[in-house]
Amino acid sequence: MFGSGVLKGMAVTLKEFFNTYVDDLKRIPSRYAGGREEIDQSDSVAQSGLFTIQYPEEHRKLPERFRYIPILIYDAETGEDRCTACGICAKVCPPQCIWIVRDKDEKGKPITRPAEFFIDTSICMNCGLCAEYCPFDAIKMDHDFEIAAYTRMPQFIFDLKELRVPTTYYARIRPTDWAEEEAARAAKEAEKAAKAERPAAAAGTGEVGTEARAEASPRPQRTPEEIERLKAEAAARRAAKAAEDAKAE
């Protein structure tokens, strides 16, 4: 029938129009009553009614792998930073927006921790290379994208205080990655402990390895006369071999 497609489209529009109010009634008290609600739109095909999120009262539930500006992880129990100020993240950063200053002790000797750590979030491209290349799992990508400010400097230059977050925060925003990393770390620690126990077990059973036997019975020290004699014998062997090679030619 001519015009049936138009009528069908208008019917769908009218249905979604009424579903908008039905969806709002299901959320009594209304979504506009205050507070901040997280909306999961992961399965938007199955949704109906109001599709528009009423930001900032509502915000979309972010995927776990969503990444924005980097953050620095520290142990929530001890307060110790994972970052050793190695500088790998600053070297691999494409826009070069990371600056690190390594800390020093009273004698001026470098310490494996950052004294200063800056990220210019206005030029950070959120690529995640810094987190990917960090050998200590010290730098990760955050979910917080609401960092608008009236001026670029210094609001968009994040320092060490603004970048540091506890491990509990990282475990909350990325539970899957956190579980995988902790399992890998536990397996590595167990392997290290097993390697440390092997020499002790071998010593208890009398089976001492080559390295342990070498440490238990060090090589005897030779006298200068013996060293000179060995050198002379080696020189004589080389001369004899050279004479044989000359005869063969």
Domain CATH number, residue 148: 3.30.70.3270
Say yes or no: 38 and 94 in one domain: no
Say yes or no: 93 and 28 in one domain: no
Say yes or no: 76 and 48 in one domain: no
With respect to residue 225, please indicate whether it lies within any of the assigned structural domains: yes
With respect to residue 22, please indicate whether it lies within any of the assigned structural domains: yes
Q: Give the confidence band of 167 by pLDDT, cuts at 50, 70, 90.
A: very high
With respect to residue 189, please indicate whether it lies within any of the assigned structural domains: no
Full domain range(s) for residue 233: 219-248
Say yes or no: 168 and 236 in one domain: no
With respect to residue 191, please indicate whether it lies within any of the assigned structural domains: no
- For the record, the structure tokens of 58 come out as 């509502």
Indicate if the alpha-carbon torsion angle 196, 197, 203, 206 is positive or negative: negative
Query: Do the strands 110-120 and 98-104 form a parallel or antiparallel pair, or are they unpaired?
Result: antiparallel
Task: Identify the pLDDT of residue 3.
Answer: 78
With respect to residue 114, please indicate whether it lies within any of the assigned structural domains: yes
Task: Say if CB 231 and CB 222 are below 8 A apart.
Answer: no
Say yes or no: 74 and 148 in one domain: yes
Say yes or no: 152 and 98 in one domain: yes
Domain count within the chain = 3
Say yes or no: 89 and 163 in one domain: yes
Say yes or no: 77 and 158 in one domain: yes
State the burial class of residue 242 (Cβ atoms within 10 Å of its Cβ: 0-12, 13-18, 19+): exposed
d(CA 94, CA 129): 8
22 or 193: which carries more pLDDT confidence? Answer: 193
Q: Which H/E stretch holds residue 21?
A: helix 4-26
Please name which of 211, 173, 206, 180 lies closest in space to residue 195, comparing C-alpha atoms: 211
Say yes or no: 74 and 161 in one domain: yes
**Neighbouring residues of 129: CB distance < 8 A, sequence distance ≥ 6:** 89, 92, 93, 94
The percentage of the chain sitting over the pLDDT mark of 90, rounded to a whole number, equals 39
Say yes or no: 164 and 241 in one domain: no
pLDDT value at 48 more than 70 = no
With respect to residue 230, please indicate whether it lies within any of the assigned structural domains: yes
Task: Say if CB 149 and CB 155 are below 8 A apart.
Answer: yes
> What digits encode the pLDDT tens for the residues 116-143?
999 999 999 999 999 999 999 999 999 9
Say yes or no: 74 and 35 in one domain: no
> What digits encode the pLDDT tens for the residues 55-86?
777 777 888 889 999 999 999 989 999 999 99
pTM of the model: 0.62
Say yes or no: 53 and 76 in one domain: no
Q: Give the confidence band of 161 by pLDDT, cuts at 50, 70, 90.
A: very high
With respect to residue 196, please indicate whether it lies within any of the assigned structural domains: no
With respect to residue 208, please indicate whether it lies within any of the assigned structural domains: no
